[in-house]
Amino acid sequence: MRLATVAFLLASLVSSLVCGCSSGSAPAQPDSGAPPSGDGGVDSGLISFTYTGAGCSYAVDPPTTRGYTDVALDDAVTSVDAATATPERVRLGLGGSTTAGQPGYPDLTTTAVLSWETSGANHAAKARLGSSATALTDIHTGYAWTTPPPTIGIGNNEAAVNMHEVHVCGLKPATTYYYQVGGGATGHEIWSATQSFTTLPSSGAIKVGVMGDARDTVTTWALVNQRMLMSGVSSILFSGDVIDIGTDESEYSQWLNAIWETGVDGGAEGSPGGFGTLGQLMFLPIAGNHENEAVQFYSNFAIPGDGPYAKAFSSFNVGSAHVIMIDDQPIGTQPGGTETMAQLAWLEQDLAAANADRTNHPFIIAVSHRGLFSTSLHSTDGDVLQTRASLAPLYDKYKVDLVFNGHDHEYERSKPVNAATPPSNPPIVVSGSTHGTTYVICAGAGADPYQVGAGMPPYRAAYTQFGSGTPYIGVYGFLTIDATSLTYAAYGLKGAGGADDMIDTFTLSN
Protein backbone atom coordinates (compact mmCIF):
# COMPACT_ATOMS: atom_id res chain seq x y z
CA MET A 1 0.00 0.00 0.00
CA ARG A 2 1.39 3.42 -0.92
CA LEU A 3 2.30 5.93 1.78
CA ALA A 4 -0.30 8.41 0.50
CA THR A 5 -3.02 5.82 0.90
CA VAL A 6 -1.87 4.88 4.40
CA ALA A 7 -1.81 8.54 5.37
CA PHE A 8 -5.33 9.10 4.13
CA LEU A 9 -6.69 6.06 5.95
CA LEU A 10 -5.13 7.23 9.20
CA ALA A 11 -6.49 10.72 8.66
CA SER A 12 -9.93 9.27 7.97
CA LEU A 13 -9.94 7.35 11.22
CA VAL A 14 -8.75 10.38 13.20
CA SER A 15 -11.28 12.75 11.65
CA SER A 16 -14.08 10.29 12.36
CA LEU A 17 -13.13 10.30 16.02
CA VAL A 18 -12.40 14.02 16.34
CA CYS A 19 -15.11 15.77 14.36
CA GLY A 20 -17.92 13.38 15.27
CA CYS A 21 -19.80 14.50 12.15
CA SER A 22 -23.21 12.87 11.80
CA SER A 23 -22.54 12.24 8.11
CA GLY A 24 -19.36 10.35 8.86
CA SER A 25 -17.40 12.53 6.43
CA ALA A 26 -14.17 14.41 6.94
CA PRO A 27 -14.09 18.17 6.49
CA ALA A 28 -13.79 19.08 2.80
CA GLN A 29 -10.23 19.61 1.64
CA PRO A 30 -8.76 20.73 -1.70
CA ASP A 31 -8.11 17.77 -3.96
CA SER A 32 -4.60 16.41 -4.21
CA GLY A 33 -2.82 14.30 -6.75
CA ALA A 34 -2.53 11.53 -4.18
CA PRO A 35 -5.99 9.90 -4.05
CA PRO A 36 -7.87 8.88 -0.93
CA SER A 37 -8.49 5.21 -0.30
CA GLY A 38 -11.32 3.96 -2.45
CA ASP A 39 -11.13 0.20 -2.25
CA GLY A 40 -14.15 0.14 0.03
CA GLY A 41 -12.41 -2.48 2.14
CA VAL A 42 -14.05 -5.34 0.24
CA ASP A 43 -12.17 -7.97 -1.71
CA SER A 44 -14.45 -10.98 -1.45
CA GLY A 45 -15.31 -13.27 -4.31
CA LEU A 46 -18.79 -13.42 -5.78
CA ILE A 47 -20.86 -16.40 -6.81
CA SER A 48 -21.45 -16.29 -10.55
CA PHE A 49 -24.57 -14.27 -11.24
CA THR A 50 -26.17 -12.95 -14.42
CA TYR A 51 -29.31 -10.91 -14.89
CA THR A 52 -30.94 -9.96 -18.18
CA GLY A 53 -33.93 -7.64 -18.20
CA ALA A 54 -36.91 -8.74 -20.28
CA GLY A 55 -36.32 -7.72 -23.89
CA CYS A 56 -32.79 -6.48 -23.17
CA SER A 57 -29.95 -7.68 -25.38
CA TYR A 58 -27.26 -7.27 -22.72
CA ALA A 59 -26.59 -9.05 -19.45
CA VAL A 60 -25.64 -7.63 -16.05
CA ASP A 61 -22.86 -9.59 -14.36
CA PRO A 62 -21.39 -7.56 -11.47
CA PRO A 63 -17.61 -8.06 -11.29
CA THR A 64 -16.03 -9.43 -8.12
CA THR A 65 -14.16 -6.14 -7.69
CA ARG A 66 -17.43 -4.46 -6.73
CA GLY A 67 -17.77 -6.77 -3.71
CA TYR A 68 -21.55 -7.10 -3.76
CA THR A 69 -23.01 -9.80 -1.50
CA ASP A 70 -26.35 -11.63 -1.37
CA VAL A 71 -26.94 -11.06 -5.09
CA ALA A 72 -30.26 -12.58 -6.15
CA LEU A 73 -33.02 -12.30 -8.72
CA ASP A 74 -36.44 -10.96 -7.74
CA ASP A 75 -38.26 -13.20 -5.28
CA ALA A 76 -42.02 -13.09 -5.77
CA VAL A 77 -42.69 -15.51 -2.90
CA THR A 78 -41.16 -14.01 0.24
CA SER A 79 -43.32 -11.51 2.10
CA VAL A 80 -41.85 -8.08 2.75
CA ASP A 81 -42.51 -5.62 5.55
CA ALA A 82 -43.45 -2.01 4.77
CA ALA A 83 -41.22 -0.88 7.65
CA THR A 84 -38.09 -2.24 5.98
CA ALA A 85 -39.02 -2.76 2.31
CA THR A 86 -40.42 0.64 1.30
CA PRO A 87 -38.28 1.93 -1.61
CA GLU A 88 -36.11 4.94 -0.85
CA ARG A 89 -34.16 7.32 -3.09
CA VAL A 90 -35.47 5.90 -6.34
CA ARG A 91 -33.14 6.84 -9.17
CA LEU A 92 -33.03 6.63 -12.96
CA GLY A 93 -29.94 5.44 -14.83
CA LEU A 94 -28.76 3.59 -17.89
CA GLY A 95 -27.46 0.10 -18.64
CA GLY A 96 -25.84 -1.64 -21.56
CA SER A 97 -22.56 -2.92 -22.96
CA THR A 98 -19.53 -0.97 -24.15
CA THR A 99 -19.15 -1.86 -27.84
CA ALA A 100 -20.79 0.61 -30.19
CA GLY A 101 -22.86 -0.92 -32.97
CA GLN A 102 -23.29 -4.25 -31.19
CA PRO A 103 -26.44 -5.66 -29.54
CA GLY A 104 -26.88 -4.32 -26.04
CA TYR A 105 -25.21 -0.97 -26.70
CA PRO A 106 -26.81 1.71 -24.47
CA ASP A 107 -29.87 3.41 -25.93
CA LEU A 108 -31.39 6.33 -24.06
CA THR A 109 -34.42 6.33 -26.37
CA THR A 110 -35.61 2.81 -25.51
CA THR A 111 -34.03 1.72 -22.20
CA ALA A 112 -33.85 2.81 -18.58
CA VAL A 113 -32.62 1.41 -15.27
CA LEU A 114 -34.61 1.95 -12.07
CA SER A 115 -32.64 1.61 -8.82
CA TRP A 116 -33.57 2.06 -5.18
CA GLU A 117 -32.66 1.23 -1.60
CA THR A 118 -34.53 -0.40 1.27
CA SER A 119 -33.66 -0.22 4.94
CA GLY A 120 -33.90 -4.00 5.28
CA ALA A 121 -32.46 -6.77 3.11
CA ASN A 122 -34.87 -8.51 0.75
CA HIS A 123 -34.94 -9.76 -2.82
CA ALA A 124 -37.97 -7.80 -4.02
CA ALA A 125 -37.04 -6.17 -7.32
CA LYS A 126 -39.97 -5.27 -9.53
CA ALA A 127 -41.08 -2.23 -11.48
CA ARG A 128 -44.47 -1.55 -12.95
CA LEU A 129 -44.85 1.02 -15.72
CA GLY A 130 -47.61 2.57 -17.77
CA SER A 131 -48.66 5.51 -19.89
CA SER A 132 -50.53 7.05 -16.95
CA ALA A 133 -50.28 6.97 -13.18
CA THR A 134 -53.45 4.86 -13.00
CA ALA A 135 -52.44 2.23 -15.58
CA LEU A 136 -49.19 0.66 -14.38
CA THR A 137 -49.70 -2.67 -16.10
CA ASP A 138 -46.27 -3.38 -17.61
CA ILE A 139 -44.35 -5.48 -15.05
CA HIS A 140 -40.56 -5.95 -15.12
CA THR A 141 -38.38 -7.93 -12.72
CA GLY A 142 -34.82 -7.23 -11.63
CA TYR A 143 -32.30 -8.22 -9.00
CA ALA A 144 -31.10 -7.18 -5.56
CA TRP A 145 -27.82 -7.12 -3.68
CA THR A 146 -26.13 -5.85 -0.54
CA THR A 147 -23.20 -3.44 -0.55
CA PRO A 148 -21.07 -3.96 2.57
CA PRO A 149 -19.45 -0.96 4.27
CA PRO A 150 -15.68 -0.50 4.03
CA THR A 151 -13.75 -2.43 6.66
CA ILE A 152 -11.56 0.59 7.44
CA GLY A 153 -11.80 4.35 6.96
CA ILE A 154 -14.79 6.64 6.74
CA GLY A 155 -18.08 4.75 6.46
CA ASN A 156 -16.84 1.59 8.17
CA ASN A 157 -19.29 2.10 11.06
CA GLU A 158 -22.34 2.33 8.80
CA ALA A 159 -24.82 -0.39 7.96
CA ALA A 160 -24.68 -2.35 4.76
CA VAL A 161 -26.82 -0.92 1.95
CA ASN A 162 -29.62 -2.97 0.37
CA MET A 163 -29.95 -2.15 -3.33
CA HIS A 164 -32.49 -3.17 -5.96
CA GLU A 165 -32.39 -2.64 -9.70
CA VAL A 166 -34.62 -3.28 -12.71
CA HIS A 167 -33.46 -2.88 -16.32
CA VAL A 168 -36.31 -1.92 -18.65
CA CYS A 169 -35.96 -2.29 -22.42
CA GLY A 170 -38.28 -1.94 -25.40
CA LEU A 171 -39.56 1.52 -24.50
CA LYS A 172 -40.66 4.07 -27.10
CA PRO A 173 -38.57 7.18 -27.86
CA ALA A 174 -39.78 10.57 -26.59
CA THR A 175 -42.45 8.95 -24.42
CA THR A 176 -43.39 9.65 -20.81
CA TYR A 177 -43.71 6.63 -18.53
CA TYR A 178 -45.16 6.52 -15.03
CA TYR A 179 -43.79 3.91 -12.69
CA GLN A 180 -43.50 2.40 -9.23
CA VAL A 181 -40.78 0.12 -7.87
CA GLY A 182 -40.82 -2.43 -5.08
CA GLY A 183 -42.33 -5.90 -5.10
CA GLY A 184 -42.77 -8.79 -2.71
CA ALA A 185 -45.13 -11.74 -2.46
CA THR A 186 -47.90 -11.64 -5.04
CA GLY A 187 -50.85 -9.74 -3.66
CA HIS A 188 -48.82 -8.32 -0.78
CA GLU A 189 -46.30 -6.12 -2.61
CA ILE A 190 -44.84 -2.92 -1.24
CA TRP A 191 -44.60 -0.14 -3.84
CA SER A 192 -42.98 3.26 -3.99
CA ALA A 193 -44.85 6.45 -4.75
CA THR A 194 -45.46 7.03 -8.45
CA GLN A 195 -42.81 8.90 -10.41
CA SER A 196 -42.32 9.49 -14.12
CA PHE A 197 -39.60 9.89 -16.72
CA THR A 198 -39.45 10.60 -20.43
CA THR A 199 -37.24 8.70 -22.85
CA LEU A 200 -35.02 10.73 -25.15
CA PRO A 201 -36.12 11.46 -28.71
CA SER A 202 -34.22 9.77 -31.51
CA SER A 203 -33.87 13.01 -33.49
CA GLY A 204 -34.41 16.76 -33.27
CA ALA A 205 -32.93 19.15 -30.72
CA ILE A 206 -32.08 17.48 -27.39
CA LYS A 207 -31.20 19.48 -24.27
CA VAL A 208 -28.81 17.93 -21.76
CA GLY A 209 -27.76 19.25 -18.35
CA VAL A 210 -24.04 19.48 -17.52
CA MET A 211 -22.56 19.79 -14.02
CA GLY A 212 -19.91 18.43 -11.70
CA ASP A 213 -18.35 18.58 -8.22
CA ALA A 214 -21.21 18.67 -5.70
CA ARG A 215 -19.32 17.43 -2.70
CA ASP A 216 -19.36 20.25 -0.13
CA THR A 217 -22.72 22.08 0.05
CA VAL A 218 -25.88 20.02 -0.28
CA THR A 219 -28.15 23.08 -0.63
CA THR A 220 -26.25 24.26 -3.71
CA TRP A 221 -26.46 20.75 -5.15
CA ALA A 222 -30.23 20.81 -4.64
CA LEU A 223 -30.55 24.21 -6.33
CA VAL A 224 -28.53 23.14 -9.39
CA ASN A 225 -30.75 20.08 -9.72
CA GLN A 226 -33.79 22.33 -9.41
CA ARG A 227 -32.49 24.34 -12.37
CA MET A 228 -32.07 21.12 -14.34
CA LEU A 229 -35.64 20.04 -13.73
CA MET A 230 -37.18 23.44 -14.38
CA SER A 231 -35.27 23.86 -17.65
CA GLY A 232 -36.68 20.69 -19.18
CA VAL A 233 -33.40 18.87 -19.82
CA SER A 234 -33.66 15.29 -21.05
CA SER A 235 -30.82 13.96 -18.90
CA ILE A 236 -27.80 15.05 -16.85
CA LEU A 237 -24.09 14.52 -17.55
CA PHE A 238 -22.06 14.66 -14.33
CA SER A 239 -18.25 14.90 -14.39
CA GLY A 240 -17.47 13.41 -10.97
CA ASP A 241 -17.22 14.11 -7.22
CA VAL A 242 -20.85 13.73 -6.17
CA ILE A 243 -19.77 13.57 -2.52
CA ASP A 244 -16.65 14.22 -0.48
CA ILE A 245 -15.61 10.69 0.53
CA GLY A 246 -16.62 7.91 -1.84
CA THR A 247 -16.96 5.27 0.88
CA ASP A 248 -19.31 7.36 3.04
CA GLU A 249 -22.77 5.95 2.37
CA SER A 250 -24.46 8.43 4.69
CA GLU A 251 -23.28 11.25 2.43
CA TYR A 252 -24.86 9.57 -0.57
CA SER A 253 -28.09 9.28 1.38
CA GLN A 254 -28.02 12.99 2.27
CA TRP A 255 -27.14 14.20 -1.22
CA LEU A 256 -29.65 11.91 -2.96
CA ASN A 257 -32.44 12.70 -0.49
CA ALA A 258 -31.97 16.38 -1.32
CA ILE A 259 -32.92 15.78 -4.96
CA TRP A 260 -35.54 13.05 -4.49
CA GLU A 261 -38.66 14.00 -2.52
CA THR A 262 -39.31 17.68 -1.92
CA GLY A 263 -42.17 16.97 0.47
CA VAL A 264 -44.48 19.41 -1.29
CA ASP A 265 -46.92 18.55 -4.05
CA GLY A 266 -45.61 20.42 -7.06
CA GLY A 267 -43.14 22.03 -4.69
CA ALA A 268 -39.80 23.75 -4.96
CA GLU A 269 -38.43 21.36 -7.54
CA GLY A 270 -41.40 22.13 -9.78
CA SER A 271 -42.31 18.48 -10.30
CA PRO A 272 -45.81 17.08 -9.81
CA GLY A 273 -45.87 14.90 -6.74
CA GLY A 274 -43.06 16.80 -5.09
CA PHE A 275 -40.19 14.89 -6.72
CA GLY A 276 -36.87 16.34 -7.80
CA THR A 277 -34.52 15.14 -10.50
CA LEU A 278 -33.77 11.80 -8.83
CA GLY A 279 -35.88 9.15 -10.51
CA GLN A 280 -37.28 11.71 -12.96
CA LEU A 281 -34.21 12.59 -15.07
CA MET A 282 -31.62 10.11 -16.25
CA PHE A 283 -28.45 10.77 -14.25
CA LEU A 284 -25.29 9.85 -16.16
CA PRO A 285 -22.25 10.25 -13.87
CA ILE A 286 -18.63 9.27 -14.06
CA ALA A 287 -16.49 8.91 -10.95
CA GLY A 288 -14.05 11.57 -9.79
CA ASN A 289 -11.06 11.35 -7.48
CA HIS A 290 -13.30 11.68 -4.41
CA GLU A 291 -15.29 8.62 -5.48
CA ASN A 292 -11.92 6.97 -6.12
CA GLU A 293 -13.52 3.83 -7.51
CA ALA A 294 -15.21 3.05 -4.20
CA VAL A 295 -17.78 0.28 -4.48
CA GLN A 296 -20.35 2.57 -2.88
CA PHE A 297 -20.27 4.82 -5.97
CA TYR A 298 -20.82 1.93 -8.38
CA SER A 299 -23.60 0.56 -6.20
CA ASN A 300 -25.47 3.86 -6.01
CA PHE A 301 -25.69 4.59 -9.74
CA ALA A 302 -26.73 2.60 -12.79
CA ILE A 303 -24.02 3.16 -15.41
CA PRO A 304 -23.42 1.20 -18.61
CA GLY A 305 -20.47 -1.15 -18.71
CA ASP A 306 -19.39 -4.75 -18.52
CA GLY A 307 -16.33 -6.82 -17.71
CA PRO A 308 -13.96 -6.49 -14.74
CA TYR A 309 -14.08 -2.68 -14.82
CA ALA A 310 -17.81 -2.29 -15.34
CA LYS A 311 -19.08 1.28 -14.87
CA ALA A 312 -15.58 2.79 -15.16
CA PHE A 313 -16.04 3.66 -18.84
CA SER A 314 -18.89 3.68 -21.33
CA SER A 315 -20.34 5.52 -24.28
CA PHE A 316 -23.74 6.16 -25.84
CA ASN A 317 -25.38 8.32 -28.48
CA VAL A 318 -27.55 11.37 -27.81
CA GLY A 319 -29.13 12.63 -31.01
CA SER A 320 -26.30 13.58 -33.37
CA ALA A 321 -23.60 13.24 -30.67
CA HIS A 322 -21.51 10.31 -29.49
CA VAL A 323 -20.80 10.72 -25.76
CA ILE A 324 -17.88 9.05 -23.97
CA MET A 325 -17.67 8.74 -20.16
CA ILE A 326 -14.31 7.72 -18.70
CA ASP A 327 -13.13 7.47 -15.08
CA ASP A 328 -9.67 9.07 -15.15
CA GLN A 329 -8.72 8.06 -11.59
CA PRO A 330 -6.58 5.09 -12.63
CA ILE A 331 -5.32 6.96 -15.71
CA GLY A 332 -4.07 9.85 -13.61
CA THR A 333 -2.70 7.90 -10.64
CA GLN A 334 -1.69 4.50 -12.02
CA PRO A 335 -0.04 5.02 -15.43
CA GLY A 336 0.72 1.68 -17.01
CA GLY A 337 -1.61 -0.16 -14.61
CA THR A 338 -3.87 -2.95 -15.77
CA GLU A 339 -7.08 -0.93 -15.50
CA THR A 340 -5.47 2.12 -17.09
CA MET A 341 -4.33 0.13 -20.11
CA ALA A 342 -7.76 -1.51 -20.44
CA GLN A 343 -9.48 1.88 -20.35
CA LEU A 344 -7.15 3.46 -22.89
CA ALA A 345 -7.46 0.48 -25.25
CA TRP A 346 -11.25 0.69 -25.05
CA LEU A 347 -11.16 4.47 -25.50
CA GLU A 348 -9.09 4.29 -28.67
CA GLN A 349 -11.33 1.59 -30.11
CA ASP A 350 -14.46 3.57 -29.26
CA LEU A 351 -13.08 6.84 -30.61
CA ALA A 352 -11.99 5.19 -33.85
CA ALA A 353 -15.47 3.76 -34.37
CA ALA A 354 -17.09 7.10 -33.52
CA ASN A 355 -14.83 9.02 -35.89
CA ALA A 356 -15.81 6.59 -38.66
CA ASP A 357 -19.51 7.16 -37.86
CA ARG A 358 -19.59 10.92 -38.44
CA THR A 359 -22.34 10.59 -41.03
CA ASN A 360 -24.75 9.35 -38.37
CA HIS A 361 -23.26 11.10 -35.35
CA PRO A 362 -21.18 14.08 -36.48
CA PHE A 363 -20.12 15.17 -32.99
CA ILE A 364 -17.95 13.45 -30.37
CA ILE A 365 -18.18 14.57 -26.73
CA ALA A 366 -16.03 13.26 -23.86
CA VAL A 367 -16.72 13.55 -20.12
CA SER A 368 -14.17 12.86 -17.38
CA HIS A 369 -13.20 14.43 -14.08
CA ARG A 370 -9.80 16.11 -14.19
CA GLY A 371 -9.67 19.44 -16.01
CA LEU A 372 -7.22 18.78 -18.81
CA PHE A 373 -6.58 22.45 -19.55
CA SER A 374 -7.15 24.48 -16.40
CA THR A 375 -5.51 27.55 -14.93
CA SER A 376 -6.84 26.89 -11.41
CA LEU A 377 -5.61 25.02 -8.33
CA HIS A 378 -4.85 21.66 -9.97
CA SER A 379 -3.53 22.90 -13.30
CA THR A 380 0.01 21.57 -12.74
CA ASP A 381 -0.73 18.56 -10.50
CA GLY A 382 1.09 15.43 -11.57
CA ASP A 383 -2.06 13.34 -11.92
CA VAL A 384 -3.70 16.05 -14.04
CA LEU A 385 -0.69 16.28 -16.36
CA GLN A 386 -0.59 12.48 -16.60
CA THR A 387 -4.28 12.40 -17.53
CA ARG A 388 -3.72 15.13 -20.12
CA ALA A 389 -0.79 13.22 -21.62
CA SER A 390 -2.94 10.08 -21.90
CA LEU A 391 -6.19 11.56 -23.18
CA ALA A 392 -5.52 14.77 -25.13
CA PRO A 393 -3.46 13.12 -27.92
CA LEU A 394 -6.27 10.61 -28.47
CA TYR A 395 -8.80 13.44 -28.59
CA ASP A 396 -6.65 15.15 -31.22
CA LYS A 397 -6.15 11.95 -33.23
CA TYR A 398 -9.87 11.21 -33.46
CA LYS A 399 -11.05 14.83 -33.62
CA VAL A 400 -13.12 15.00 -30.45
CA ASP A 401 -15.23 18.14 -30.58
CA LEU A 402 -16.05 18.93 -26.96
CA VAL A 403 -14.74 17.80 -23.55
CA PHE A 404 -16.46 18.41 -20.20
CA ASN A 405 -14.37 18.22 -17.03
CA GLY A 406 -14.52 19.19 -13.36
CA HIS A 407 -11.99 18.87 -10.50
CA ASP A 408 -11.11 22.59 -10.42
CA HIS A 409 -14.15 24.30 -8.89
CA GLU A 410 -14.72 27.07 -11.41
CA TYR A 411 -15.97 27.70 -14.94
CA GLU A 412 -13.38 27.82 -17.70
CA ARG A 413 -13.50 27.26 -21.46
CA SER A 414 -10.70 26.88 -23.96
CA LYS A 415 -10.58 27.97 -27.55
CA PRO A 416 -10.37 25.05 -30.04
CA VAL A 417 -6.95 23.57 -29.25
CA ASN A 418 -4.61 20.67 -29.89
CA ALA A 419 -2.25 19.23 -27.31
CA ALA A 420 1.33 20.45 -27.47
CA THR A 421 4.40 18.25 -27.59
CA PRO A 422 4.98 17.28 -24.87
CA PRO A 423 1.33 17.49 -23.70
CA SER A 424 2.45 19.03 -20.39
CA ASN A 425 3.03 22.29 -22.27
CA PRO A 426 0.14 24.74 -22.85
CA PRO A 427 -2.15 23.67 -25.69
CA ILE A 428 -1.91 25.06 -29.21
CA VAL A 429 -4.77 27.23 -30.45
CA VAL A 430 -5.91 26.14 -33.91
CA SER A 431 -7.81 27.94 -36.62
CA GLY A 432 -8.91 27.56 -40.19
CA SER A 433 -9.29 23.99 -41.41
CA THR A 434 -7.36 22.45 -38.52
CA HIS A 435 -9.63 20.63 -36.13
CA GLY A 436 -9.43 21.61 -32.49
CA THR A 437 -11.13 20.40 -29.31
CA THR A 438 -13.01 22.76 -26.99
CA TYR A 439 -12.45 21.99 -23.29
CA VAL A 440 -15.00 23.13 -20.69
CA ILE A 441 -14.59 22.93 -16.91
CA CYS A 442 -18.00 23.33 -15.27
CA ALA A 443 -17.54 22.36 -11.65
CA GLY A 444 -19.79 24.22 -9.28
CA ALA A 445 -22.69 21.99 -8.24
CA GLY A 446 -21.91 22.37 -4.53
CA ALA A 447 -18.13 22.22 -4.24
CA ASP A 448 -16.17 24.97 -2.50
CA PRO A 449 -14.81 27.55 -4.98
CA TYR A 450 -11.25 27.76 -6.29
CA GLN A 451 -9.48 30.75 -7.82
CA VAL A 452 -9.12 30.88 -11.59
CA GLY A 453 -5.59 31.57 -12.80
CA ALA A 454 -4.64 35.22 -13.27
CA GLY A 455 -4.27 36.86 -16.65
CA MET A 456 -5.66 35.55 -19.91
CA PRO A 457 -3.68 32.66 -21.38
CA PRO A 458 -3.78 32.60 -25.19
CA TYR A 459 -5.78 29.37 -25.22
CA ARG A 460 -8.51 30.47 -22.79
CA ALA A 461 -11.78 31.77 -24.26
CA ALA A 462 -13.89 32.40 -21.13
CA TYR A 463 -13.88 31.96 -17.37
CA THR A 464 -15.99 32.73 -14.29
CA GLN A 465 -15.34 32.25 -10.60
CA PHE A 466 -17.96 31.70 -7.97
CA GLY A 467 -18.00 32.11 -4.22
CA SER A 468 -17.00 35.01 -1.96
CA GLY A 469 -16.78 38.32 -3.78
CA THR A 470 -18.83 37.14 -6.74
CA PRO A 471 -22.59 37.07 -7.42
CA TYR A 472 -22.57 33.27 -7.70
CA ILE A 473 -22.62 30.27 -5.41
CA GLY A 474 -22.06 27.76 -8.19
CA VAL A 475 -22.07 27.08 -11.93
CA TYR A 476 -23.88 24.70 -14.29
CA GLY A 477 -24.76 24.48 -17.96
CA PHE A 478 -27.08 23.24 -20.70
CA LEU A 479 -25.98 21.58 -23.93
CA THR A 480 -28.39 21.55 -26.87
CA ILE A 481 -27.60 18.90 -29.46
CA ASP A 482 -29.20 19.09 -32.90
CA ALA A 483 -28.40 17.66 -36.32
CA THR A 484 -25.82 20.27 -37.27
CA SER A 485 -24.60 21.94 -34.08
CA LEU A 486 -23.76 21.80 -30.39
CA THR A 487 -24.81 24.88 -28.42
CA TYR A 488 -23.69 25.27 -24.84
CA ALA A 489 -24.85 27.87 -22.33
CA ALA A 490 -23.26 28.17 -18.88
CA TYR A 491 -24.93 29.89 -15.92
CA GLY A 492 -23.81 31.37 -12.63
CA LEU A 493 -26.06 30.12 -9.84
CA LYS A 494 -27.32 33.04 -7.74
CA GLY A 495 -29.22 31.06 -5.13
CA ALA A 496 -32.83 30.31 -4.35
CA GLY A 497 -34.14 33.80 -4.90
CA GLY A 498 -33.18 35.15 -8.31
CA ALA A 499 -32.70 34.57 -12.00
CA ASP A 500 -29.27 33.19 -12.82
CA ASP A 501 -26.89 34.91 -15.23
CA MET A 502 -25.68 33.35 -18.46
CA ILE A 503 -21.90 33.54 -18.07
CA ASP A 504 -20.86 31.97 -21.37
CA THR A 505 -22.28 30.52 -24.56
CA PHE A 506 -20.85 29.11 -27.77
CA THR A 507 -21.83 26.95 -30.73
CA LEU A 508 -19.87 24.26 -32.55
CA SER A 509 -21.09 23.34 -36.03
CA ASN A 510 -20.27 20.43 -38.29
User: What is the b/e burial string over 119-153, where b = at least 16 CB atoms within 10 angstroms of the residue's CB?
Assistant: eebbbbbbbbbbeeeeebebebbbbbbbbbbbebb
Half-sphere exposure of 209 (CA within 13 A, CB side): 26
Q: Are 240 and 286 in contact (CB under 8 A)?
A: yes
User: What is the b/e burial string over 276-285, where b = at least 16 CB atoms within 10 angstroms of the residue's CB?
Assistant: bbbbbbbbbb
- Residue 335: pLDDT over 80: yes
The reply to whether omega before 422 is within 30° of 0 (cis) is: yes
Minimum mean pLDDT among 1-10, 186-195, 215-224: which range?
1-10
Over residues 119-136, the pLDDT tens digits come to 999 999 999 999 999 999
- The reported pLDDT for the residue numbered 242 is 98
How far is the C-alpha of 364 from the C-alpha of 415, rounded, in Å? 17
Amino acid (one-letter) located at 49: F
174: how many CB neighbours lie within 10 A of its CB? 14
Per-chain mean pLDDT for the chain = 89
How far is the C-alpha of 26 from the C-alpha of 118, rounded, in Å? 26
- The reported pLDDT for the residue numbered 14 is 33
How far is the C-alpha of 267 from the C-alpha of 273, rounded, in Å? 8
Q: Are 369 and 286 in contact (CB under 8 A)?
A: yes
Amino acid (one-letter) located at 274: G
- The reported pLDDT for the residue numbered 66 is 85
Q: What percent of the chain has pLDDT over 70?
A: 88
Half-sphere exposure of 41 (CA within 13 A, CB side): 17
- The reported pLDDT for the residue numbered 31 is 56
- Can you tell me whether residue 250 is helix, strand or coil? helix
- Residue 316: pLDDT over 60: yes
Q: Are 262 and 277 in contact (CB under 8 A)?
A: no
Over residues 205-263, the pLDDT tens digits come to 999 999 999 999 999 999 999 999 999 999 999 999 999 999 999 999 999 999 998 65
Domain residue limits, the chain: 11-18+21-26+36-509
Determine if residue 302 is left, alpha or beta; phi over 0 gives left, psi from -120 to 50 gives alpha, anything else beta: beta
- The reported pLDDT for the residue numbered 456 is 86
CATH of 11-18+21-26+36-509, one of 3.40.630.40, 3.40.50.720, 3.60.21.10, 2.60.120.1140: 3.60.21.10
Sheet with 143-147, side-by-side order of all strands: 69-73, 143-147, 161-168, 112-118, 88-93
pTM: 0.90
- The reported pLDDT for the residue numbered 21 is 33
493 pairs with which residues across the strands?
474
**Mean pLDDT of all residues in 473-490:** 98
- Residue 109: pLDDT over 70: yes
Question: Among the residues of 326-475, which ranges form H helices?
Answer: 329-333, 338-355, 382-397
Largest CA distance in the chain: 67
Of the candidates 201, 136, 154, the residue with the CA atom closest to the CA atom of residue 23: 154
363: how many CB neighbours lie within 10 A of its CB? 25
DSSP 141: E
495 pairs with which residues across the strands?
none
How far is the C-alpha of 249 from the C-alpha of 77, rounded, in Å? 30
Run of H or E residues at 418: strand 417-418
What are residue 415's phi and psi, to 5 degrees?
-70, 170
What are residue 318's phi and psi, to 5 degrees?
-125, 105
Over residues 9-33, the pLDDT tens digits come to 333 333 333 333 333 333 344 554 4
- With vertex at residue 404, the alpha carbon angle to CA 230 and CA 379, rounded to the nearest 5 degrees, is 125
